[in-house]
Structure 1
Amino acid sequence: MDRGGCQMSGGGGGGGDRGGPEEHGMITLEDLESFSEDQLSDSGNGSLEEEGETMEEDEDRLLHYWQDVARGHQVEVTEDMAEPIQQLTTNNQGRSQREHIPFTLLARKEKCGELLYEKRQYEKGHWACITMREDTYEQSICYGFMRIMRYICQQNSLGDYLGMTLPIVTVVRTDESHSVVSHDVTVAYFLPAEHQAQPPQPEDSEIILEIWPTTTVYTRTFSGPTNEVTIINQINTLAELLDSPGVCINDSFIVAGYTNPAHSNRHNEIWFLERP
């Protein structure tokens, strides 16, 4: 199996310490941005040859950072990830370039001024999806995301960077009692608006382009890491808050990630899908 590596929970927010990985940190697209302004512009105005050498140095620096962080999670970041990592860094520096998945807000439930959950409708659209099964839930997310990352960067029929959308979502499956998360995890990326009509085809045969139908979801925001324990806790919390949890699918849920989970202001959501 082709392997890259990271710990994925979505986009948004700032990255980790430039000197090395944060303790217990997980890396996402946004960790790359911690390098974008200072480290990627160190070269000044040298010759073309010098600039080429600097680009190679930047790729190596970013790759080694990812490798250092991933090693603590038993994940391998291979050498062929250097170029995709560099591409995402240079193409994803401005927040304005991140397209948010459009939705219609249907309802909000609050209690004592606290937002408990929202009810939203997401319209039909094309998603690029890959399902992984690794030894751990975190590894499944990691390796799936890295393959989606290659598709976003260049390994597609256009041979070009497609653009980033938020959130990146993972479909998780549980047992009926919501006590165990399956290691079969689907990582999904919503195609930007300009590619919805004619989605570029992936070179990776295990990445599937799917049309997800119009879907109503109940969503609750939470902060902190996204691992098996926190996901189970969030599923059970939202189930208790819903007036009629039986209207939702009971064994498949979505974790939506907007923010680097090593960041102090992390932004994640748990989504329940309303039955058709």
Structure 2
Amino acid sequence: MDRGGCQMSGGGGGGGGPGPGPGLGPDRAGMITLEDLESFSEDQLSDSGNGSLEEEGETMEEDEDQDRLLHYWQDVARGHQVEVSQDMAEPIQQLTSNNQGRSHREAVPFTLLGRKDKCGELLYEKRHYEKGHWACITMREDTYEQSICYGFMRIMRYICQQNSSGDYLGMTLPIVTVVRTDQDRSVISHDVTVAYYLPAEHQAQPPRPHDPGIAVELWPAAVVYSRPFGGPTNEATIMDQISAMAELLDSAALCVHDSFIVAGYTNPAHSNRQNEIWFLERR
């Protein structure tokens, strides 16, 4: 994997990431994120049995909960033409049990430098992000959506104990993807980097991932121009958002012109997704 290709600096590194061959194999997974799990009601998550507190009964109930959650993910993923493998049952269960009832996630910290509005509508914000550790993986799939799905699921395993600390690390938002285009911004590369910002408690000593395809990198500080948009994220909508942002920016020439970031705040299957397109100011 091209260790330089993940950084929040827009710098190249397209072809070095793991493709759909070695390292991906049978553990590809589906296009579900945290919000899907939180849509469960207590009735859906609880067993309809007698609720025995004996050790054997508890084990059976935990196994049944895992099966229900896995089947739910598989059902939703099937609608997106992806599969969730059986070995995702434990990470799904961990993510659910650690996040139920939480109203928010830790946000990636930034300083607002300015904003531009028109008739009361936000056009874009200018932000400063401090340097920080991100876990990232570069994927190359047939579509952008497939790449972010498979990449996020591998990142999720890292979050859910498949790391050197053996602990659940906690969720942060947004999950970002780095997309690259040609010089004319007319063609998007199939190499997509999915990245997760480590929570504050893990920034000083980031746990190492078990997955060799995931790199934990110290991304440099960056100035970002951010514009919100809703709806799905695919090649067409991303290119439209890049074009729209370029027209709005007074200083577009000062930004990296062939590498951009899509920041996602909600589940990709949600009907009213909350996203941002980020332009990176040249350093």
Partner of 1:103: 110
Alpha-carbon shift at residue 91 of structure 1 (Å): 0.6
CA distance in 1, matches of 2:150, 2:58: 32
CA contact (8 A) 2:138 2:191 kept: yes
CA distance in 1, matches of 2:261, 2:70: 29
CA contact (8 A) 1:105 1:120 kept: yes
Partner of 2:20: none
Partner of 2:191: 184
Partner of 1:28: 33
Moved more, 259-268 or 104-113: 259-268
Opposite residue 155 of structure 2, the aligned amino acid is I
Partner of 2:172: 165
Partner of 2:181: 174
CA contact (8 A) 1:92 1:98 kept: no
For residues 136-173 of structure 1, give each alpha carbon's deviation from its aligned partner in whole angstroms, at most 9, with x where no partner exists: 22221111111100000011001110000000001111
CA contact (8 A) 2:172 2:198 kept: yes
Unpaired stretches in structure 1, ≥5 consecutive residues: 8-26
CA RMSD, Structure 1 to Structure 2 (Å): 1.6
User: Following TM superposition, where does structure 1 have runs of at least 4 consecutive aligned residues deviating by more than 6 angstroms?
Assistant: none
Of 137, 144, 148, 1:141 maps to: 148
1:153 is aligned to 2:166? no
Alpha-carbon shift at residue 177 of structure 1 (Å): 2.2
Relative to structure 1, is the Cα distance of residues 242 and 97 closer, same or farther in structure 2, using a 3 angstrom cutoff?
closer
Alpha-carbon shift at residue 206 of structure 1 (Å): 1.1
Of 23, 30, 37, 1:6 maps to: 30
For residues 65-92 of structure 1, give each alpha carbon's deviation from its aligned partner in whole angstroms, at most 9, with x where no partner exists: 2222223333221111001011111111
Unpaired stretches in structure 2, ≥5 consecutive residues: 1-22
Partner of 1:12: none
Task: Work out the percentage of aligned pairs sharing the same amino acid.
Answer: 77
Opposite residue 52 of structure 2, the aligned amino acid is G
For residues 104-124 of structure 1, give each alpha carbon's deviation from its aligned partner in whole angstroms, at most 9, with x where no partner exists: 000000011110000001101
Alpha-carbon shift at residue 97 of structure 1 (Å): 5.8
CA contact (8 A) 1:172 1:185 kept: yes
CA distance in 1, matches of 2:124, 2:259: 18
CA distance in 2, matches of 1:32, 1:56: 17
Q: Secondary structure at the match of 2:258?
A: strand
1:46 is aligned to 2:52? yes
CA contact (8 A) 1:66 1:77 kept: yes
CA contact (8 A) 1:4 1:81 kept: no
Alpha-carbon shift at residue 28 of structure 1 (Å): 1.6
Partner of 1:11: none
Partner of 2:254: 247
Opposite residue 189 of structure 1, the aligned amino acid is Y
Alpha-carbon shift at residue 264 of structure 1 (Å): 4.2
Opposite residue 193 of structure 1, the aligned amino acid is A
State TM-score, norm by structure 2.
0.86
1:113 is aligned to 2:137? no
Opposite residue 80 of structure 1, the aligned amino acid is D
CA distance in 2, matches of 1:225, 1:153: 26
For residues 5-54 of structure 1, give each alpha carbon's deviation from its aligned partner in whole angstroms, at most 9, with x where no partner exists: 222xxxxxxxxxxxxxxxxxxx3221011125332234574233223222
State TM-score, norm by structure 1.
0.88
CA distance in 1, matches of 2:167, 2:93: 14
Opposite residue 39 of structure 2, the aligned amino acid is S
